Each structure stands twice: as structure tokens, then as C-alpha cells.
Structure 1
Amino acid sequence: MTTSSPAPGPRTPDAPGDDKTLRVLSTSDLAQIDISLADVVATVENAYRTLAAGRSDNPRKLTVKPPDGHSVSYAMLGRDGSREVVAIKTSYKHGLDRERDGQHYYTALTLYDDVTGLPVAMMDCGRIGALRTPAASALLARECARPGARSALVVGTGTQGRLALPFLLTTLPALDRLMLFGTRPEGVEAVRAELRRHFPGREAEVVTDLRAAAGAADVVVATAGPHTPAAVDASWLAPGSLSILVGHGLAPSTLHRADRVVATSEAQMRVTGTDMADAEGRLPAVDAEFPAVLAGLAQGRRSPDEHVFAYNSGLVVTDIALGHRLAQLAIAEGRGTRVPLWR
């Protein structure tokens, strides 16, 4: 199955001449943008395909973490060759030693038009990540799940868990059993409400026996936070299942005992996936990177019965593509605040 990405559209609709005024798009500005799940999937897929074609740049992210591990910071620079946009993304999370409610998280994306040389926007990156990541998981499921997959289990009910099932149904509409494991009642209800909003009439089956649910799932998507008690073991999984790691919720055995390992980026997996290392601190080799799988240059799966492990780490080129798409929609609606930063 192949989808086409929306056309890049006008570059800077309201920027006359050599206007260097920066448009700032806040969380609330972006929350009001209406974008379909199919539009998001197509935008993310096109970013991967452009990268696989060698037309985009996605250098390894820079990471800063203090010795006690209470915070982590990332900086990512990239260029989307299809949209001809350069961007810098920054991410800072504080309070990793605390529960989710006690943490602080800030992420921003600054876009520059590489044709005109003018700034496009500086924007909160929260909604971009909340959309981009489950869209990437859904694409991984489309390409790497066994033929005829009918059941899916989502572990976790946070930001990434809430849209995991709607995106999975967007790329795998034949799924007829949707399972959900979560430990927070309010999070469980938020996931179920989000599913009903996008797919009226569809319900998520809340499970308490994680082992039984994992054994019944063709696709397992682990989106939980670092304090989750969930840890799906490889021995629980059915033959031919696909395990997708976004956050936490899978035991390291699901990676080390997999028949095939796919990653959005092997380099990034080795930076951010160290919690999946074995007792000697090692991670197995990646058999295929996902951009190459989408482009038909590598196989996501070789047989119906092999267990595939997929590591979904965000690539900045997908942030750039989706951020640019949202910025286009926001600018067309006149949203944001224009700041003469460079005057």
C-alpha cells in the first residue's frame, strides 16, 4: 500500500519581499489545526521515502544528560529535500526521577525555507510528536505485521498511547480486536475516547492479563512511560507477532530473541535504546532501517512466522515534514504571533 503526501503548497503565503519576521506558533495555535490521520501518515511516509532516496539529511542527535540522570536534552538538525526546508529541533525534559505529573518537558521546532532563505515559523513541537510517533508506528505495522493481522495490543495510556489505535486502524483497517493495557483509569478512558472520536463504534478492550493479551496480539505497541510495571517478555508472544517499542513496556528479550530487527534509525537506537541492552550492555545489530523498507530496498519481514521487533525513535526529518505541514495550515488560517526577532 502506498499513500501520497500532500503537496508542499505555498512557501510563505503572507511574507512580502525579504521579510525576516518570525511567526511563533504556540501550543494553543496548533491545537486548533484540523488535520486528518491520513494526511499525517502520508506526510510522515513521504519524509521517510525522501530520506531513503538520499534527498534529505538526518544527522545523529546530540544528547546532554547530567550524571544523576534527573534531566535529558536533545538537539536535532535536519533538512527535508522534498519540502526544501531546514529545521532545528530542541527537546528538554526535567524530573526523570519523578512520576509524570512532576516532570517538565519543553520541545520546539524552528523552520527555515531553504528556497527563499526566510524563516517559516518557530513552533511548539508537542503536537507534532504526538502525531508523528503513532503515525510512524502505524506505518511500521503496515509494512512489518504478518499478512492478515487482525489483533493489536497497546501498552500505555499517555500521550503516545492515546492515538496509537486510531493510527493503527488508519493503516490496518482489517484489525478487529483492539486491546489496551494501562494502569491509570483516567488514561484508559482518554485512549478509549480518542478511539471513539476517530472511529465511532469501535471500542478498545481493556485487558488486565498482560501475558494473555500479548499472546493473542498480532501487533504489540509499547508506549508506556519509564515507571510502568509492564514488561512483555518474548516468551509471551505468538509466532509471527510484531513488537513495536516507542517508550517502555517491552522486556529486552523481545529485542534479543527477535528473528528480525527493524529500526527507524540504528544510530538513534544505540543512543536512546540503551535500556534494552543485555547484561553485557550490548544491543543486537539492526537487520533493516525503516526508510529503506518503505522504499522497497530492504525487507521488513521475511516470513509469516518470524517475530519482528521494531524500534520507533523519532527522526527529525519527520518532525520537519509534519511541522511544515502544520505551519502551512496555521499560516493559511492567520494563526500565530509575528515577532521581529532579527530587527
Structure 2
Amino acid sequence: MTSHDGTLRVLSTSDLAGIDISLADVVHTVEGAYRTLHAGHSDNPRKLTVKPPDGHSVSYAMLGRDGTRDVVAIKTSYKHGLDKSRDEQHYYTSLTIYDDVTGLPVAMMDCSRIGSLRTPAVSALIARECARPGARSALVIGTGTQGRLALPFMLTTLPGLERLMVFGTHSDGIAAVRAELRAHFPDREVEIVTDVRAAAHDADIVVATAGAHTPAAVESDWLEPGALSILVGHGLAPSTLHRADRVIATSEAQMNVTGTDMADDEGELPAVDTEFPPVLAGLTAGRHHAEERIFAYNSGLVVTDIALGHRFAQLALARNLGTEVALWK
């Protein structure tokens, strides 16, 4: 599956957009990446972050190795215009994969679609493992890239969900949420809510995916006992973390880097009770009892990007998609 020596297969946004992949396939791929990491066969060092003093942009670099696929990859992410509206922001992310058996490059690709699938798949896995038994209602805050697929993925892992709620402030985003749900689950309807407090009170699961400018900030005392709150972007107040009965993170180290906006008045974050990989492996509990309020921090791990990116590369190369670039000639 590797490129010829001295060349690199580049997969563009449009190349990847034309590839069909089921939600179940994505969930299976992401779950496998977590299990491989927990087994000690993969490496996922802490991400590097740089940000200018005025906070108008943020950049990340992430290196990882997938021990199941024997590949090494580097992901970069750059967002500009954090002080501006969503329409004025610029965001670029890429993933470059190398075969660690042959030593040859596999592909370099736009990572935006991979991220838009990987993150809600992780939230859906967290919901499957940590929601209280018999969970029937879910609230998604935000209608951007992550919010649009949050409900379809949760229905993939928790088909018993009955009430599906979304809070958003952008009409185009709300329309996109409806379209995504209809595309994957044509018999299901989403309820657009305007009273976040009432909706959070009624929700067994709250997934916060909104941007930094969202007016939503769910407080701990808005949530019923047993509620699960998952933070992906913004939309949860720090009290949901600090007053939780149980705190779970995909990576405590990454939470301490990227979750500083959830710190208390002393600038501190609470200790994590468990990371998510051992929960998936069945070594630690997602929850101990039905009344626990659980906070989960979904920061994303590069090993999941690598696994899903490798899956996309397989599908793309089978269709001879992409452009060969003689980068090293």
C-alpha cells in the first residue's frame, strides 16, 4: 500500500469526500485503535501546542505509532481567527503516514474529514460505556463539524436513544444537523431546543461540541443524577467537571494541556479517576452506579487519527485516488 520510493501520494479534501465509509466501520476502527494503545502496542505522546500571546490562533503537532498497522504518522493542526466569527476563521489539518515495515511513505492527506468522524465516534463510545443504564435522551450543544455527526454516531452505539435534542445558534448548522441525521437514520427526528437549562435537565447524555462563542454553559446543578456530560469543544461550565462524581479523560495529559479553560479559580483541574482506554478494555469501570454524574473529556488521540487515516488511505488507493508527488526526488 506504500508509494514508490521518492514519491508521496497526496489525498485532497475532494479525494476523501468521495469515499463511502459506514459509521459502524468508523466506530470499529477507532475502538480498535484505543484497544491497541491500551495493550501497549501503540505510542501516543502528548501533543505540542503553540499559541500567540493574543490568542488569535492555535497550532498543534502530534506524533504517533500504530502497532497493529505498523505505521508511523504525524498530524498537524492550525486554526487562525479564534477571535473572529466562525465564518472568518481558517483551519488546516493534515496527516502524513509512513509504513514502518518498508520505511516508505503511505500517504499525506487532509485530516479534516478524519477528525470530523473520529471525534464523534469517540464520544459515542464514551456514551456506550459510561451512560447510565437505559439512557433514553441526548442533548448536543453546537452544530459545527463535530455537532453534526454526534447524534448519528450515538445512535450507532446506543440505538435505544429516543429523544434527540440539539442547541445551536446558526441556522445553516441546524439544517446540516437535520440533514446528517436524515441521511443515516431517515426514520428519526431531532428536536431543536432553545432553553439549554431545561434540555440539560432532561438529558441523560450531554455532548458539548460548540465553538468558543457559544452562549451555552451548562452548570452541574442543571444535570440530573446519573447524567453523563462529554466535553469536546465548549458548552459546559467548569462546575460540570469540578462537581462530577467521576471524571474520565481520553488522555489526562492532553486534558491538562487543552482543558485549561475548565480550571477553577486557582487555575487547577481535578485529577482524572480513569482514562478511557482501560474502560474500553474492561479493566476499569465507566461508572459505578446509576446515580453518578460523570464528566468525560474527549480531546482525541492521534492514534485514532492514524487508524482512521490508514483506513481511508486503503480505500483511496484501492480506487487509485490522489496525486503522486515526487517530493523527495
1:309 aligned residue (295, 310, 316):
295
The correspondence for 2:128, drawn from 126, 135, 142, is 142
Q: Give SS of 2:149's match.
A: helix
Deviation at 1:201, TM superposition (A): 1.4
Distance 1:199 1:121 in 2: 33
CA–CA separation in structure 1 for the residues paired with 2:194 and 2:214 = 14
SS at match of 1:127: helix
Q: C-alpha separation between the residues in 1 aligned to 2:121 and 2:275?
A: 16
SS in 2 for 1:178: strand
Q: In the alignment, which residue of structure 2 is the partner of 1:6?
A: none
1:275 equivalent in structure 2: 261
1:50 corresponds to which residue? 36
* 1-structure distance, mates of 2:240, 2:98: 40
**Is 2:35 the counterpart of 1:35?**
no
| 2:322 aligned residue | 336
Of 133, 141, 147, which residue of structure 2 is paired with 1:155? 141
Secondary structure of the equivalent of 1:258? Answer: coil
User: Which residue in 2 is equivalent to 1:266?
Assistant: 252
Q: What are the residue-to-residue correspondences of 1:163-178 with 2, within 5 Å?
A: 163-178=149-164
CA distance in 2, matches of 1:297, 1:340: 47
CA distance in 2, matches of 1:125, 1:44: 15
1:129 to 115, 118, 123: 115
Structure 1 residue 20: Cα displacement:
3.2
**Residue 235 of structure 1 pairs with residue 184 of structure 2:** no
Structure 1 segment 95-134 matched on structure 2, within 5 A: 95-134=81-120
Distance apart, 1:237 and its partner CA: 0.3
**Shift of residue 272 of structure 1?**
0.3
CA distance in 1, matches of 2:172, 2:88: 17
Deviates further, 288-297 or 135-144: 288-297
The answer to whether the aligner puts 1:25 opposite 2:11 as a matched pair is yes
Q: Which residue in 2 is equivalent to 1:76? A: 62
Aligned-pair CA distance for 1:290: 0.4
Whole-angstrom CA distance in 2 between matches of 1:84 and 1:290 = 23
Residue identity matched to 1:332: A
Query: 2: CA distance between counterparts of 1:50 and 1:201?
Result: 35
In the other structure, the counterpart of 1:3 is none
Q: 2:311 aligns with which of 322, 325, 333?
A: 325
Aligned to 2:186: 200
Q: Deviations over 1:104-146 (max 9, x none)?
A: 1110000000111110000000000000000000000000000
Q: Deviations for 1:200-255, whole angstroms, at most 9, x for unmatched residues?
A: 11010111111111011100000000000000110000110100000000000000
Q: Which residue of 2 aligns with 1:216?
A: 202
Aligned residues: 329
TM-score (normalizing by structure 2) = 0.99
Which residue is equivalent to 1:298?
284
Residue type at the aligned position of 1:320 = I
Equivalent-residue separation in structure 1 for 2:215 and 2:190 (angstroms): 20
- Secondary structure of the corresponding residue to residue 147 of structure 1: coil
Cα distance in 2, alignment partners of residues 208 and 101 from structure 1: 22
Could you tell me how far 1:264 is from its partner in structure 2? 0.2
The runs of at least 4 consecutive aligned structure 1 residues that moved more than 6 Å come to: none
State how far apart, in whole Å, the 1-side matches of 2:58 and 2:83 are.
Answer: 11
The TM-score normalised by the length of structure 1 is 0.95
* Identity percentage of aligned residues: 80
- 1:19: how far off? 2.7
CA positional deviation for 1:297: 1.6
Unaligned runs of 5+ in 2: none
| Partner AA of 1:52 in structure 2 | H
SS of match in other structure, 1:29: helix
265-274 vs 179-188, greater mean Cα deviation? 179-188
**Alpha-carbon deviation of 1:298?**
1.3
The Cα offsets for residues 172-208 of structure 1, whole Å up to 9 and x where unpaired, read as 0000110111111111111011000000110101111
